[in-house]
Structure 1
Amino acid sequence: MPVVLPASPGEALPARRGSRGPGCPVAAFMSLPTQNMECKSTAPLFGDSQGRPAARALNQVGSIAKRSIPMHESVVLKKLRNNEPVWCAAAALADPNVVELYGHLGIHCVWICTEHRPLGIETVHNMVRAAKMGGMDAMVRVPKGSYSDYIRPLEMDATGIMAPHCMSGEEAQQIVRTTRFQPIGLRPIDGGNSDGPFCLRTPEEYVRFANEQRFVVVQIEDKEAVDCMEDIVATDHIDIFFLGPGDLSHSYGVPGQFDHPHVLAAIDKLADLAAQYHRNWGMPCSPEKAPELIQKGARFLTTGSDVGALGAQFKQWRAAYEAVGLTFDSDF
């Protein structure tokens, strides 16, 4: 027997012969009030007598209360526009569950890296989805490559991208042209992906929203980039200038020496130029180092990763077990 909607809004759906009583999930659903439905006929819910599909039958039967198509507004940009610091944490283990956990913890942004990590494109997409589900931004660091490497994460609806090893003002301008729509840049337009969303917005809405609610980060992490840093920082329409102390120290021949005078001088130079040009800047740091950097004007702070947190916690637990007599075959 076909399921029939009630004759008037607010009336419970009729009981179905053969249902299992009040404890049955189907019976519970069938007893729900229908104040959000407007009945127009008694066509079957899952298709009509003429064999037309359910979607067409529903159009005849009634309409569910309309809702707007959600588009994720950037948490990072909202905070930066209010001059508030942002915390971004890295997810290196290619697991959307980690991203979902970060969202539950209220972290502002997750850093997903495709420059160094063996992440497939579908995995990145699912990690971005998990971030949106948790109300969190997702930033994808892309490899240096074709324009597709820059725009594909944005079309997955990543909230931001990070372009590594920006070496000049000209390169910074090219990144803007690739990642911004008109009238700012010449990003290729699609609209049929998650960021569109799926052609459910007009092209005008899509372009405007992307330019207003998606952020671009460029990394300054080479001594050549430090030499022309002002040209890079002077580039408009880049949201964050990010100093990478790891590669920068390596570039200076002192890998891992983050307190080396060359690295510290580069940090101060970026802080001064960011203040001069009214730009946002940031870098990796510990919570202990954060107040000093915030005092220098840094607003985008990256701290922690799933790999680091797991390693540190399990080392602590192992030490506790060793203290009570347990032995282990491996060392580190």
Structure 2
Amino acid sequence: MQENPVKRKLATGDYSLGTFVFEFNSTGIARIAAAAGAEFIVFDMEHTGWSVESIRMLMATTPDGTVPIVRVPVTEYHFIARIFDMGAMGVMVPMVETAEQAELIVRSSKYPPAGRRGAAFGVAHDDYQGGDIVEKMNSANSQQQLIAQIETAAGVENADAIAAVPGIDVLWIGHFDLSNSLGIPAQFDHPQFKSAVSRVLEAAHKHGKIGGFMAEGVDNATALIKQGFQMIAFGGDLWIYQKALAGGLSAVREQAE
């Protein structure tokens, strides 16, 4: 596996900015995002209905230097191991609620002795090249990024235990689902929601892990970085496109009238 520049950057205490891709599964979307300055891209399988074939194409067309991450739909070996074989450099797993679940993520992602990922070499994940197998396994184990999404009340309760699992790199707040689970849908200024977010971030920092969040705008992203989150996804493709198009069309209409 190639060196993961995002993981290296985060290890220095710096922050990293990326984005989500939900809608535009084209051969150009990763290059467009990279040209815009995205350091990582999270390709979503949870809410899109994309098949592994779509993910395979998106991995193959992500340019070097930009980290491709896939959000799988569920904590299952066959999703996690396969997306790494297709060339993903990170995996995001939704609805992580227990340390046991986090341990399954690690086992499914890493080669022995750290995990039980099945071995296949000279395929997409190592650019179809030969080389020392042990070195390949060690590289993959050290460079991949494992992201556990904390987005339920149970996940918050067990955040400390999840963060303590060796191999988990990032605790990522799923803010809409978390607010739903707490019984306060979309009330992100509610004291209960803020307390839950702080609790997860504290657990991450306690165990030397990274806090992650999807920002909805410049001010939100800046506030999250100041709060201590280091891995920030700036929105998603469909919303960014829609907002830019709506703003442009509205401006044209105002000037024309």
Please give the range of the TM-score, normalised by the shorter of the 2 chains: over 0.9
Cα displacement (A) at 1:108:
0.3
What residue in structure 2 maps to residue 219 of structure 1?
Answer: 149
Q: 2:80 & 2:190 partners in 1: Cα distance?
A: 32
Q: 315-324 or 119-128: which moved more?
A: 315-324
Q: 313-322 or 222-231: which moved more?
A: 313-322
| Bigger Rg, which one | 1
In the alignment, is residue 182 of structure 1 matched against residue 112 of structure 2? yes
Which structure shows the higher strand fraction?
A: 2
Aligned with 1:104 (options 17, 25, 35): 35
In the alignment, is residue 158 of structure 1 matched against residue 88 of structure 2? yes
In the alignment, is residue 118 of structure 1 matched against residue 46 of structure 2? no
Amino acid of the structure 2 residue aligned with 1:244:
G
Amino acid of the structure 2 residue aligned with 1:176:
V
What residue in structure 2 maps to residue 278 of structure 1?
Answer: 208
Q: In structure 2, the residue corresponding to 1:96 is in which secondary structure?
A: coil
Percent identity among equivalent residues? 25
What residue in structure 2 maps to residue 306 of structure 1?
Answer: 237
Q: 1:110 & 1:145 partners in 2: Cα distance?
A: 20
Q: 2:223 & 2:192 partners in 1: Cα distance?
A: 18
Aligned with 1:95 (options 20, 23, 26): 26
Q: 2:53 & 2:59 partners in 1: Cα distance?
A: 10
| Contact 1:243–1:267, Cα closer than 8 Å, also in 2 | yes
What residue in structure 1 maps to residue 219 of structure 2?
Answer: 288
What residue in structure 2 maps to residue 254 of structure 1?
Answer: 184
Cα displacement (A) at 1:257:
1.7
- 5+ residue gaps, structure 1: 1-70, 327-332
Amino acid of the structure 1 residue aligned with 2:136:
Y
User: Structure 1 residues 227, 255: closer, same or farther in 2, change over 3 A?
Assistant: same
What residue in structure 2 maps to residue 16 of structure 1?
Answer: none
Aligned with 2:97 (options 144, 149, 167): 167
| Contact 2:160–2:204, Cα closer than 8 Å, also in 1 | no
Q: 2:118 & 2:92 partners in 1: Cα distance?
A: 18
In the alignment, is residue 72 of structure 1 matched against residue 2 of structure 2? yes
Q: 1:193 & 1:110 partners in 2: Cα distance?
A: 22
- 5+ residue gaps, structure 2: none
| Contact 2:99–2:165, Cα closer than 8 Å, also in 1 | yes
Q: 1:204 & 1:304 partners in 2: Cα distance?
A: 38
| Contact 2:45–2:72, Cα closer than 8 Å, also in 1 | yes
Cα displacement (A) at 1:145:
5.0
Deviation per residue, 1:18-56 (Å, 9 max, x gap): xxxxxxxxxxxxxxxxxxxxxxxxxxxxxxxxxxxxxxx
Amino acid of the structure 2 residue aligned with 1:152:
R
Q: 1:241 & 1:175 partners in 2: Cα distance?
A: 13
Higher relative CO (Cα under 8 Å, sequence separation at least 6) belongs to 2
Aligned with 1:85 (options 15, 19, 42): 15
Cα displacement (A) at 1:136:
0.4
Deviation per residue, 1:108-156 (Å, 9 max, x gap): 001100111121322211211222x252000100011531101111111
Aligned with 1:315 (options 234, 246, 254): 246
Deviation per residue, 1:42-75 (Å, 9 max, x gap): xxxxxxxxxxxxxxxxxxxxxxxxxxxxx52212
| Contact 1:234–1:277, Cα closer than 8 Å, also in 2 | yes
Which structure shows the higher helix fraction?
A: 2
Q: In structure 2, the residue corresponding to 1:257 is in which secondary structure?
A: coil
Q: In structure 1, the residue corresponding to 2:124 is in which secondary structure?
A: coil
Cα displacement (A) at 1:163:
0.8
In the alignment, is residue 140 of structure 1 matched against residue 70 of structure 2? yes
User: Structure 1 residues 96, 261: closer, same or farther in 2, change over 3 A?
Assistant: farther
- CA RMSD in angstroms comes to 1.7
Cα displacement (A) at 1:325:
5.6
Q: In structure 2, the residue corresponding to 1:288 is in which secondary structure?
A: helix
| Contact 1:86–1:299, Cα closer than 8 Å, also in 2 | yes
| Contact 1:103–1:134, Cα closer than 8 Å, also in 2 | no
Q: In structure 1, the residue corresponding to 2:184 is in which secondary structure?
A: coil
Q: In structure 1, the residue corresponding to 2:125 is in which secondary structure?
A: coil
